[in-house]
Structure 1
Amino acid sequence: MTFAKLGLNQLLLTAIEKANYQSPYPIQIEAIPAFLEGKDLLGIAPTGSGKTASFILPILQILQGKKENKSRNVPVLVLVPTRELASQVAQVADNFSRFLSRRVKTVAVFGGVSINPQMRKMNGTDILIGTPGRLLDLLSKNALSLNQVEILVMDEMDKVLNMGFREEVNQILAEIPKKRQTILFSATMDETLEELISKLLKDPKRISVKPAEVEVDLIDQYAYRITPEKKGPLLRHIINSGDWTQILVFTSSIRTANNVTQKLVKNGIDAVAFHGDKSQGARTEALAKFKSGKTRVLVATDLAGRGIDIQFLPLVINFELPRSPKDYVHRIGRTGRAGATGEAISLITEEDLHHFKIIQKKMKKHVQLRSTDDLDL
């Protein structure tokens, strides 16, 4: 299957080719033609399945047949849970619209930065991508209108609801016409989401994509048994003992991420924290430096860490274990990608032992537990 067979125009096909997209993902094969036919869509798909292009490409094509927007009435709204995803979707839209004959204005809005520059950008916006809180802020200031929205995309809705944005979502939906095309994506399905779907979608085309299996056999996993007070010295010992160019360290809380980062920097290790309390600019800069190799160690929480996608990451360290075995696999799956080998190290206290056994059982893989008695910490 090729993109040319999905009903996309030649200008979009040129952009796809320039972006080095070889062939469409399964979700794109199903979603793009249905989207272009005007159908509502329900996609159960994980991050990394190609869903962003599956809605951005048809949106861009549909906008080519419409007059240029010169008002604050937004025709296309994309609702997302996080700042990183808003920026990422906007980047994809800008990338694919480079060769189009009709100019498409895409704007991403989110909290953590000044609202004034975002307000000034609203006029003439074709595609507005935003987080619930900031969208409501803009509406309250009459900076935009949603009463002429024709296409509504709700991306990663399970995360939106899990982050407690149900009331904000309902307020936004109250501003949007009932007659519209609605596309909803979620990685998981539960009763709350099913209830929302029944209210929002009309006879939707349902698409389901299974999460890609993490190749745990390509990841060299081991763990150290350690007391809580010696975790910091052990982490520094591990980092200094190898020549890894990039190391991703996971913690379970923002406070721990900050503390770990401060201790690493104090001991001469180039590190930066990456979490939800950081401003958008700080997070963008931190991730860019880490990806380019200018910063060696990135200390992240699980929620913020979902936006980290590095193809050949050599080492992941679990300073603290995540709550679920699924999250553990998701963490270590940042390494060992694209057929490359990687390492994953976990720091295990006495209290962690039972939970770590459950993780190994669910993962169906034994992880060697090493002693730290012979290490000079």
Structure 2
Amino acid sequence: MLVLGPTRELVAQIQRSAERFCKTTQILLETIYGGASKAEQLAGLRKMPAVVVATPGRLIEFLEEEPAPCSLKHVRHMVLDEADRMLGEGFEVQVRQILAEATMPNRQTLLFSATWPPAVKAFASTVLRQPVEVRVGAGDSCFSTNPNVVQDVMFLRDDSEKPSALCALLKGRKNVKAIVFVATKRACQQLERSLRGRVPLVCDALHGDRSQRDREAVLDHFRKGQVQVLLATDVAGRGIDVSNVTLVVNYDCPRSAEDYIHRIGRTGRQGKGVAISILTDREQDAMELIANVIEKAGTRMPPELAKRLGMLTSVGKVDPRMHWKEPWQGLDGNKYQKEDLKSAVESLWT
């Protein structure tokens, strides 16, 4: 069996989960990912493990060596985990190359994805044969979010207020276990320094400039509760599977609906969770992105978000996400539907 994941952290988490079964069945497992010793991984491959969990990049490195230390000709089961993330990070060519190497005729391929955008649909249609499709969540929507996550928005005048707002947010939560997402590695480092001494919590950062050993140590400390606030970039934070995360903060705006869904999916896995996005009035695209996901998922729309979008539309753009109660009775005694009012409002702005 070969399992592919987009990041080192996800591969390590899959390894921990798989080892629970391997211990009692004496199945040999090996992990292959960048940032770790190739010699040790090569030694593990030579033991002919029954299960290999790998990132596409490091596995391709081994396959392209002369002679190649491993072969995929006898892979019976192929698992593509977080396929949307692998495609989003540009691994499609490498994944297709790996699939082409796995030539067993009756190979079973399983593809897992938190979102279902057109790119993933198109990819799946070319690599899966007569697949059975299982959906969990919002029916045909590709914007499926966990209903256990309460989504809210905090609005500020400008970005300079964000550090103080985050401090105030964290100070009010004594037993918090939080992940704070930021846009860049540099911003992650700066925010960590900014929080030191300002909140009564242990904070640490997870980003690509840290060594693999440091990243594993940070995750381990966060998992054990020795770190209460984890600052992470999207790349480093993907696939973090830590139980009892109570709060996710979007300190910087997500770039896409898929990123937003992946971020807030870190909480609400065991009971209720909270996801708060810190925005300014200038970030209209982010407001619309978040509102669109919330509407498609059928969950509660934050009142302040609906209010801000309504204010923005007053300059000539009608908000399609308004929640209408229908039918209602007008002053003239007649019954009206939402389409009646919508048409009337649109006529005022055109």
Q: Structure 1 length as normaliser, TM-score?
A: 0.66
Contact 2:76 2:104 survives alignment (8 Å): no
Structure 1 residue 260 displacement after superposition: 1.1
Residue 43 of structure 2 aligns with which residue? 120
Residue 179 of structure 1 aligns with which residue? 105
Contact 1:113 1:279 survives alignment (8 Å): no
**Within 2, Cα distance between the matches of 1:314 and 1:300?**
16
Paired residue for 1:207, among 122, 125, 134? 134
Residue 138 of structure 1 aligns with which residue? 62
**Within 2, Cα distance between the matches of 1:156 and 1:351?**
32
Contact 1:250 1:320 survives alignment (8 Å): yes
Secondary structure of 1:243's partner?
A: coil
Counterparts of residues 54-203 of structure 1 (less than 5 Å): 76-100=1-25, 103-123=26-46, 124-141=48-65, 142-187=68-113, 188-189=115-116, 192-194=119-121, 196-203=123-130
Paired residue for 1:301, among 228, 233, 236? 233
Structure 1 residue 130 displacement after superposition: 0.8
CA distances 1:86-116 after superposition (whole Å, capped 9, x unpaired): 222222222112222xx31110110122211
Secondary structure of 1:99's partner?
A: helix
Secondary structure of 1:89's partner?
A: helix
**Within 2, Cα distance between the matches of 1:293 and 1:281?**
18
> What 5-or-longer segments of structure 1 have no aligned partner?
1-75, 370-377
Residue 183 of structure 2 aligns with which residue? 252
Q: Which amino acid in the other structure matches residue 136 of structure 1?
A: I
Q: How many pairs align? A: 291
* In the alignment, structure 1 residue 285 sits paired with structure 2 residue 285: no
Residue 277 of structure 2 aligns with which residue? 346
Residue 41 of structure 1 aligns with which residue? none
CA distances 1:19-51 after superposition (whole Å, capped 9, x unpaired): xxxxxxxxxxxxxxxxxxxxxxxxxxxxxxxxx
Structure 1 residue 77 displacement after superposition: 2.0
Contact 2:74 2:104 survives alignment (8 Å): no
Q: 1:290 to 1:191 in 2, by over 3 A?
A: closer
Q: Which amino acid in the other structure matches residue 164 of structure 2?
A: P
Contact 2:223 2:243 survives alignment (8 Å): no
Structure 1 residue 222 displacement after superposition: 4.8
> What 5-or-longer segments of structure 2 have no aligned partner?
139-143, 295-299, 306-350
Q: CA RMSD in A?
A: 3.1
**Within 1, Cα distance between the matches of 2:265 and 2:95?**
31
Larger gyration radius, structure 1 or structure 2: 2
Residue 333 of structure 2 aligns with which residue? none
**Within 1, Cα distance between the matches of 2:284 and 2:122?**
39
Q: 1:198 to 1:314 in 2, by over 3 A?
A: closer
Structure 1 residue 365 displacement after superposition: 1.0
**Within 1, Cα distance between the matches of 2:130 and 2:261?**
35
**Within 1, Cα distance between the matches of 2:261 and 2:75?**
39
Secondary structure of 1:205's partner?
A: coil
Q: Structure 2 length as normaliser, TM-score?
A: 0.71
Contact 1:226 1:347 survives alignment (8 Å): no
Contact 1:316 1:331 survives alignment (8 Å): yes
Structure 1 residue 257 displacement after superposition: 1.6
Counterparts of residues 354-369 of structure 1 (less than 5 Å): 355-356=286-287, 359-360=290-291, 362-363=293-294, 364-368=300-304
Structure 1 residue 185 displacement after superposition: 0.9
CA distances 1:317-340 after superposition (whole Å, capped 9, x unpaired): 221122345644553454455444
**Within 1, Cα distance between the matches of 2:98 and 2:42?**
17
**Within 2, Cα distance between the matches of 1:135 and 1:159?**
17
